[in-house]
Amino acid sequence: MSNQIIRKAPSLGKAANMPDYNITRRTFSWVDAKSWLSGLPDGKLNIAHEAIDRHVAAGHGGQIALRWLGKEGTRRDLNYLDLQLQTNRFANVLRNQGLCRGDRVYALMGRTPELYIAALGTLKAGCVFCPLFSAFGPEPIHSRMEIGGANALITTARLYKRKVAGLRNRLPELRTIFLTDGEAADCVTLPPLMRAAPEDFATEAMDPEDMALLHFTSGTTGKPKGVVHVHEAVVAHHMTGRFALDLKPGDIYWCTADPGWVTGTSYGIIAPLTNRVTMIVDEAEFDAGRWYDILEREGVTVWYTAPTAIRMLMKAGPEAVGARDLSALRFMASVGEPLNPEAVIWSNEVFGHPFHDNWWQTETGGIMIANYAAMDVKPGSMGKPLPGIEAGIVEVTETKVTEAKKPGTIGELALRPGWPSMMRGYLHEEARYKKCFRDGWYLSGDLAMRDDDGYFWFVGRADDLIKSAGHLIGPFEVESALIEHEAVAEAGVIGVPDETAGELVKAYVALKPGYEPTEELKLDLLGHARKRLGPAVAPKDIVFRKNLPKTRSGKIMRRLLKARELGLPEGDISTLESDEQ
């Protein structure tokens, strides 16, 4: 835990949306936060209305909503009126193709304007938006579409042919596939339909508790979990964008997260648009020089990125910044995994501002704990809970959940339920959902501690979930793909520390009789996993073992694999079946 404190300049604090944290916490109510939005008649709500339509109605249609930077140097601006008309067209396309309110519309695309139009048009039509990461392989795509009961998919011709075409007969509920470019058998080419669709559409008036978003997070012992969020989540998206990211109308805002992940939807689409900013969307992958060019050329004022990217910028050194003028930047935040203190201190020296770390989960739907613009930053800390959020450190036993009042106590990070973006369920897994709530607490599964000043500090995860470059990876999913290979008898997967990515996926494999642990086989397994899972999820290293450590009931002990990998104490091994290393 870092003892250093980065003091906030008084002038910056006064200009913040939340100039005094303690006063705002005392006076805040979710009822007031809902009043910051316009809503729809009779208590109805729609995220797309709050993100687009109300701004056009208020006379802000000419403001740029989305500035897209193509990887080949092309640029495209969409103002709020453009976005309204294009999302109206897409909603009409969905209707004309038989997609109804409540249908599940998946998106498998790179960061192009069509993805953002599809997301908001889907919500406008009252359908459920389900984003997929474009680097996923066929099996992660199939499992998520199967669990969610996908009714439609919007993708590109290349991604369809490479990853989706072979899945169609395994997805009986999938009725329509839209291609944003090219043609393929049994698919609908989207551009002609968009050109023919009317520009007028009456946004669906949804009940606040109607499902709006379906995000997937990988479990440690089973299939991915479909996390359900409702239209009322927009109240928290808007509020947290305002307080945690200090977004103001007219800001030039850049969230580097891909909409295939929850951050890229909640804070790469919804929160910035409800707060009426101009969003920067970069199609290209990370490049330090390109990123610094964007920050300078576009005059980015608020920047939300990931620890992995920050560490890569640190590696590039101060010469990568050069003589660029980054004076427009006034607030920078980090998301996806804990940000190490060195990165916070480095950013303060290089940019004149620290990165403000925050904590939340797919299940919470929005930022829950953060470092704020008007608050001193303790490098390495997650910060303090949002107004309206009560967080605690609890001890969980079989019979009860008890809050630890003493500062410095390590326990499970828990929240009092009831905030608007709280998940409403794990799709088709009610029992699993209910296990997250006990004795008036939502149990996060993360371990943390709270210091004397009320700052929270991340300690570790209570399960085996791997966080690599901001991506949540379930070991079971990777193990299952490896076991599909004809040579593999058993597989165990863990995350190992990595300076850049946070963690890397490492697999331990026991082979079937007749197969030898050669370098050629290792490369074949790595290629098999990349093909099945995609490069973001597949293991980066494979180690051959004669046997894997298992309990007597046959469960592979990932904890023991990790302890041995890192030279940590093995702990209780009383249930260990004898294993040969």
pLDDT digits (tens, 9 = 90+) for 166-212: 999 999 999 999 999 999 999 999 999 999 999 999 999 999 999 99
Confidence of residue 12 (pLDDT cuts 50, 70, 90): low
Q: 187: alpha, beta or left, given left = phi > 0 and alpha = psi -120 to 50? A: beta
For residue 486, is it within any domain? yes
Q: Classify residue 383 by its DSSP letter.
A: B
Last residue in a domain, options 390, 420, 450 = 450
How many structural domains comprise the chain? 2
Query: Once rounded to an integer, what is the mean pLDDT over residues 348-363?
Result: 95
Last residue in a domain, options 395, 419, 450 = 450
Same domain, 412 and 539: no
Phi/psi for 465 (5° steps) reads -60, 135
Same domain, 445 and 492: no
- Tell me how far apart the alpha carbons of residues 210 and 56 are, in angstroms, rounded to a whole number: 24
What pLDDT score does 578 carry?
52
Q: 534: alpha, beta or left, given left = phi > 0 and alpha = psi -120 to 50? A: left
Same domain, 47 and 188: yes
Same domain, 435 and 494: no
Question: Which residues have C-beta within 8 Å of that of residue 182, sequence separation ≥ 6?
Answer: 156, 157, 158, 189
Same domain, 446 and 495: no
Terminal-residue alpha carbon distance, the chain: 36
Instruction: Out of 257-266, 401-410, 453-462, pick the least confident.
Output: 453-462
Same domain, 472 and 411: no
For the cut 80, the answer to whether the pLDDT of residue 571 exceeds it is no
What pLDDT score does 186 carry?
93
* Residue owning tokens 């007031």: 32
Confidence of residue 553 (pLDDT cuts 50, 70, 90): very low
Secondary structure of residue 505 in the 3-state scheme: strand
Secondary structure of residue 522 in the 3-state scheme: helix
For the cut 70, the answer to whether the pLDDT of residue 218 exceeds it is no
For residue 481, is it within any domain? yes
Both tokens of residue 517? 């642990």
For residue 571, is it within any domain? yes
- Quick count: other Cβ atoms within 10 Å of Cβ 421? 26
Q: Please, are residues 490 and 542 in contact by the beta-carbon 8 Å criterion?
A: no
For the cut 90, the answer to whether the pLDDT of residue 432 exceeds it is yes
Angle at 179 between CA 175 and CA 180, to 5 degrees: 140
Residue of 198, 178, 194 whose CA lies nearest to 186: 178
3-state secondary structure 125-167: CCCEEEEECCCCCHHHHHHHHHHHCCCEEEECHHHHHHHHHHH
For the cut 70, the answer to whether the pLDDT of residue 220 exceeds it is no
What pLDDT score does 574 carry?
36
* Residue owning tokens 């169609």: 168
For residue 160, is it within any domain? yes
For the cut 50, the answer to whether the pLDDT of residue 479 exceeds it is yes
Neighbour-count burial for 541-559, b at 16+ CB within 10 Å, e otherwise: ebebbeebbbeeeeebbbb
% of the chain beyond a pLDDT of 90: 78
Q: How far is CA 362 from CA 169, 170, 175, 304, 503, in A?
A: 30, 27, 28, 17, 19
Same domain, 312 and 188: yes
What pLDDT score does 575 carry?
42
Both tokens of residue 114? 């069509």
* 487-540: pLDDT as tens digits: 998 899 999 999 889 899 999 999 988 999 999 999 999 999 999 999 989 999
What pLDDT score does 558 carry?
82
Same domain, 435 and 477: no
CATH of the domain at 478: 3.30.300.30
CATH of the domain at 60: 3.40.50.12780
Residue of 161, 155, 165 whose CA lies nearest to 130: 155
For the cut 70, the answer to whether the pLDDT of residue 61 exceeds it is yes
Query: Once rounded to an integer, what is the mean pLDDT over residues 24-52?
Result: 98
Residue of 289, 279, 296 whose CA lies nearest to 312: 289
What pLDDT score does 552 carry?
47
| Mean of pLDDT over the chain | 92
Confidence of residue 317 (pLDDT cuts 50, 70, 90): confident
Same domain, 331 and 362: yes
Residue of 529, 461, 488 whose CA lies nearest to 140: 529
- Tell me how far apart the alpha carbons of residues 146 and 107 are, in angstroms, rounded to a whole number: 14
Confidence of residue 576 (pLDDT cuts 50, 70, 90): low
Same domain, 494 and 398: no
Q: Classify residue 45 by its DSSP letter.
A: B
What pLDDT score does 472 carry?
75
* 85-132: pLDDT as tens digits: 999 999 999 999 999 999 999 999 999 999 999 999 999 999 999 999
What pLDDT score does 228 carry?
98
Confidence of residue 315 (pLDDT cuts 50, 70, 90): confident
Same domain, 203 and 69: yes
For residue 460, is it within any domain? no
Residue-number span of the structural domain to which 548 is assigned: 466-577
Same domain, 494 and 441: no
What's the residue count for the chain? 581
Q: Please, are residues 277 and 314 in contact by the beta-carbon 8 Å criterion?
A: no
For residue 22, is it within any domain? yes
For the cut 70, the answer to whether the pLDDT of residue 579 exceeds it is no
For the cut 70, the answer to whether the pLDDT of residue 365 exceeds it is yes
What pLDDT score does 322 carry?
87
For residue 348, is it within any domain? yes
For the cut 90, the answer to whether the pLDDT of residue 474 exceeds it is no
What pLDDT score does 493 carry?
92
Last residue in a domain, options 392, 422, 450 = 450
For the cut 50, the answer to whether the pLDDT of residue 572 exceeds it is no
For residue 115, is it within any domain? yes
Confidence of residue 2 (pLDDT cuts 50, 70, 90): low
What interhelical angle do 475-483 and 138-148 show, nearest 10? 120
What pLDDT score does 394 carry?
97
Residue of 127, 129, 180, 136 whose CA lies nearest to 157: 180
For the cut 90, the answer to whether the pLDDT of residue 1 exceeds it is no
Query: Once rounded to an integer, what is the mean pLDDT over residues 541-550?
Result: 91
